[in-house]
Chain A
Amino acid sequence: MSENRIILEVKGLKKYFPIHKGDKTLFVKAIDGIDFEVREGETVGLVGESGSGKSTTAYCVIGMYSVTNGTIMFKGKDISCASSQRPLELKRDMQIVFQDPGTSLNPQHTIYKIIELPLKVHGLAKGREMRERIVQLLESVELPESYLYKYPRMIGGGERQMVAIARALATNPSFMILDEPTSSLDVSVQAKIINMLIKLQKEFNLSYLFITHDLSLMRNVATRVVIMYLGKIAEMAPTEIFFQSPQHPYTQMLLSSIPVVTKEEEELKPKKIKSQGEIPSPVNVPPGCSFNTRCPLAKPECFEKDPVMVQVGPDHFVRCNLFA
């Protein structure tokens, strides 16, 4: 995998949101300095709890948020500028699928109109070609032609997400951000969508940044896993290595909290590190390591020194004072 070309490179990315309290201005540090990359044909799983900054990362990359600090490089070009300054060609090459297809599809438009929009904006099809292309896109997500004139409310949640995927595919992107695409769906529907996404990835040579809170799903989908906690990356490793030897105490807590269905999985869970405490507010990040409020292994230095990323194995990075 490492020979593959780097398609997306994020360096020192920061995103702060100001909040005004009286005459004071505080900052929500949604992302506080993260580095990671996505290589061609890869699926990077960005995993974290709510408030960890995983969606903010996605929105910064896609250009919905401006960047406070740091750079985002896409295919060698700096794209950390505002969305309005991004060339149309770039916008065509990167697409996003949101969590809730109920709100990301216009309820007043038919499926035809929904998929037609990106084709029109990017001038990818005209006249009779348009309909053919839309039908072809629907076919690639295994929806029949009869769906063309249906409205989003007339079809099931899973099928709506398929339409959202077809819309993202319309512009022939090479990179797609999937922001929790299955977290509001049942497992039997999730299975269908995930298999579809894997198939499409092979067919169109797509690279995915897959955002989720579900580690068991990532075990089956991602090639590399990035764990985020309070706006920072805690651990990053190729999937196989990650699940064999998770290193960061937070990662171990996360893994040991997952409810599983087989004995083999039970054995993969780290020795019960008991889950305790809750994620602190990103406005008042504790000094030192941000995980120190919940960490069972915290040492005195963890309350003073913010750990730096260290390499502990091939492609395996951990940000914890225990490894410094």
Chain B
Amino acid sequence: MGDLVKIQDLYVWFRVYGGYMKVLNGVNFSVGKGEKVSIVGETGCGKTTTMKAILRILSSQAHIPKGEVLFEEKDILKMKESEIKRLRGRGVAMIFQDPMASLNPVFTIGDQLAAVISHSGVQDLDKEKIRQLSINALKEVKLPDPERILGSYPFQMSGGMRQRICIAMALATERALIIADEPTTNLDVTIQDQILALLRELVTKRGNSLILITHSLGIARENADRIYVMYAGNMVEVSNNEELFCNPLHPYTEMLLGCVPKLSGGGIAEGIAGRIPDYLNPPPGCRFEPRCPYATDRCREEKPDFVDVGNGHKVACFKYN
């Protein structure tokens, strides 16, 4: 399986008053063709920044000192504006966390779907064809009465329906990669289950690649083939789905898993002491070192790289080399 997206040693800094926020700190990441990958991490760990780098929609304060983002072996960071536009129109689609904020409140669903379809590069589009494609897209996400929905506004829909519409927009035309950034965070658990099942089904059927960003280890486990765990701008561990939960290696992964309340009971671990480092002045070595119970002198000075421990399970921690 060739890689569709490959991020190599990516650093992203943000210019702020008083210096640079050194957010991404050498991210390595890849998604194969047709693969479902999840990135799990807590607030502020750089999940969304990484995804924005793939679409090149980082804010103007962003500065990329080093690294490359390859999409089908072409570096996105060096692409011309016209190439990037084509990528956004046809290659990659993103589903955001808050569907109310990503849908325009003053246009109908039909107008917004039509806009997506007409920028997709499909040939011979006329009004009727666009309408047909829009209806098909809405049918595919199992929305009842698609004709009526085309004429409705986002505020007339429930949260679950709005997120279905966002999925319909992402999948209305052929895309190689779907990025879903916490698509169900604002939804109730029964609706979340429906939306994720739908996304999984459609992506599998069409053979798209999927990057699912989430802060929930449970969601990652139920939806991805491979899972990356991210902490403070670094990928700290990556492994096949089951393996990560049976055999978590990085101290952060292990502690995070302990904090998740289990349906089987047994109480909750004490939590992780301290908090995420200040990006203006991050620790020079491993960024988890100040909170890590196993930290040694080496962790304070040197940044650990991914070590392959077999079976594609990689971990960035000196405990393992």
Encode contact with A along B41-75: 1 for CB under 8 Å, 0 otherwise: 01100000000000000000000000000000000
Contact of A254 among B189, B215, B261, B264 (CB under 8 A): B189
A-side contacts of B42, CB under 8 Å: 186-188
Contact of A219 among B43, B258, B263 (CB under 8 A): B263
Q: Counting CB contacts under 8 A, is B105 at the interface? A: no
Name the distance in Å between B309's Cβ and chain A's nearest Cβ: 21
Stretch of A19-27, A116-124, A274-282, A307-315 at the chain-chain interface: A274-282
Q: Which of A242-278 contact B (CB under 8 A)?
A: 243, 253-262, 264-265, 268-269, 275-276, 278
A195–B270 CB distance below 8 A: yes
A259–B270 CB distance below 8 A: no
Stretch of A146-154, A166-174, A209-217 at the chain-chain interface: A209-217
A253–B262 CB distance below 8 A: no
B215–A220 CB distance below 8 A: no
Q: A213-B189, A253-B190 are in contact. Are A261 and B265 (CB under 8 A)?
A: no
Encode contact with A along B251-277: 1 for CB under 8 Å, 0 otherwise: 000011111111111111111100100
Docked Cα-Cα span, A130 to B221, in Å, equals: 50
Q: A275-B190, A276-B194 are in contact. Are A191 and B259 (CB under 8 A)?
A: yes
Q: Counting CB contacts under 8 A, is B114 at the interface? A: no
Docked Cα-Cα span, A261 to B194, in Å, equals: 19
A188–B272 CB distance below 8 A: yes
A261–B260 CB distance below 8 A: yes
Name the distance in Å between A211's Cβ and chain B's nearest Cβ: 14
Q: A195-B270, A275-B194 are in contact. Are A187 and B256 (CB under 8 A)?
A: yes
Docked Cα-Cα span, A191 to B158, in Å, equals: 31
Docked Cα-Cα span, A213 to B185, in Å, equals: 12
Docked Cα-Cα span, A255 to B43, in Å, equals: 26
Q: Counting CB contacts under 8 A, is B147 at the interface? A: no
A220–B259 CB distance below 8 A: no
B-side contacts of A189, CB under 8 Å: 271
Q: Counting CB contacts under 8 A, is A223 at the interface? A: no
Q: Counting CB contacts under 8 A, is B188 at the interface? A: yes
Docked Cα-Cα span, A275 to B196, in Å, equals: 11
Q: Counting CB contacts under 8 A, is A190 at the interface? A: yes
Q: A156-B275, A188-B42, A188-B256 are in contact. Are A260 and B261 (CB under 8 A)?
A: no
Q: Counting CB contacts under 8 A, is B218 at the interface? A: yes
Name the distance in Å between A97's Cβ and chain B's nearest Cβ: 18
A-side contacts of B315, CB under 8 Å: none
Q: Which of B4-35 contact A (CB under 8 A)?
A: none
A-side contacts of B266, CB under 8 Å: 220
Q: A186-B215, A187-B259, A259-B216 are in contact. Are A49 and B190 (CB under 8 A)?
A: yes
B-side contacts of A186, CB under 8 Å: 42-43, 215
Docked Cα-Cα span, A261 to B259, in Å, equals: 11
A-side contacts of B302, CB under 8 Å: none
Q: How many residues of B contact A (CB 8 A)?
A: 40
Q: A214-B261, A260-B263 are in contact. Are A191 and B188 (CB under 8 A)?
A: no
Name the distance in Å between A246's Cβ and chain B's nearest Cβ: 11
Encode contact with A along B180-200: 1 for CB under 8 Å, 0 otherwise: 000000001111111010000
Encode contact with B along A175-215: 1 for CB under 8 Å, 0 otherwise: 00000000000111111111100000000000000000111
Q: Counting CB contacts under 8 A, is B160 at the interface? A: yes
Name the distance in Å between B39's Cβ and chain A's nearest Cβ: 15
Q: A-side binding surface: helix, strand, loop or mixed?
A: helix
B268–A265 CB distance below 8 A: no
Name the distance in Å between B223's Cβ and chain A's nearest Cβ: 8
A260–B218 CB distance below 8 A: yes
Q: Counting CB contacts under 8 A, is A50 at the interface? A: yes
Contact of A265 among B188, B262, B270 (CB under 8 A): B262
Docked Cα-Cα span, A316 to B215, in Å, equals: 34
Encode contact with B along A75-109: 1 for CB under 8 Å, 0 otherwise: 00000000000000000000000000000000000
Q: Counting CB contacts under 8 A, is B222 at the interface? A: yes
> Whose C-beta in chain B lies nearest to the C-beta of A215?
B263
Docked Cα-Cα span, A179 to B215, in Å, equals: 22
Contact of B269 among A191, A243, A262 (CB under 8 A): A191
Q: Counting CB contacts under 8 A, is B113 at the interface? A: no
Q: Counting CB contacts under 8 A, is B245 at the interface? A: yes
Q: Counting CB contacts under 8 A, is B217 at the interface? A: yes
A-side contacts of B295, CB under 8 Å: none
Contact of B267 among A50, A220, A255, A262 (CB under 8 A): A220
Q: Counting CB contacts under 8 A, is B77 at the interface? A: no
A243–B265 CB distance below 8 A: yes
A262–B268 CB distance below 8 A: no
Name the distance in Å between A241's Cβ and chain B's nearest Cβ: 13
B-side contacts of A278, CB under 8 Å: 158, 160-161, 191
A258–B218 CB distance below 8 A: yes
A-side contacts of B189, CB under 8 Å: 49, 213, 215, 254, 257-258
Docked Cα-Cα span, A112 to B257, in Å, equals: 35
Q: A190-B259, A275-B190 are in contact. Are A262 and B245 (CB under 8 A)?
A: yes
Contact of A187 among B191, B192, B260 (CB under 8 A): B260
13 pairs from A and B in contact (CB 8 Å cutoff): A49-B190, A156-B275, A186-B42, A188-B255, A191-B269, A192-B271, A216-B261, A220-B266, A220-B268, A257-B189, A261-B218, A264-B262, A278-B158
Which A residues form the contact surface with B (CB < 8 A)? 49-50, 156, 158, 186-195, 213-217, 219-221, 243, 253-262, 264-265, 268-269, 275-276, 278-279
Which B residues form the contact surface with A (CB < 8 A)? 42-43, 158, 160-161, 188-194, 196, 215-219, 221-222, 245, 255-272, 275
Known: A190-B271, A259-B222. 14 other contacts (CB 8 A): A50-B188, A186-B43, A187-B259, A191-B258, A213-B189, A216-B260, A254-B189, A257-B193, A259-B196, A261-B257, A262-B262, A275-B191, A278-B161, A278-B191
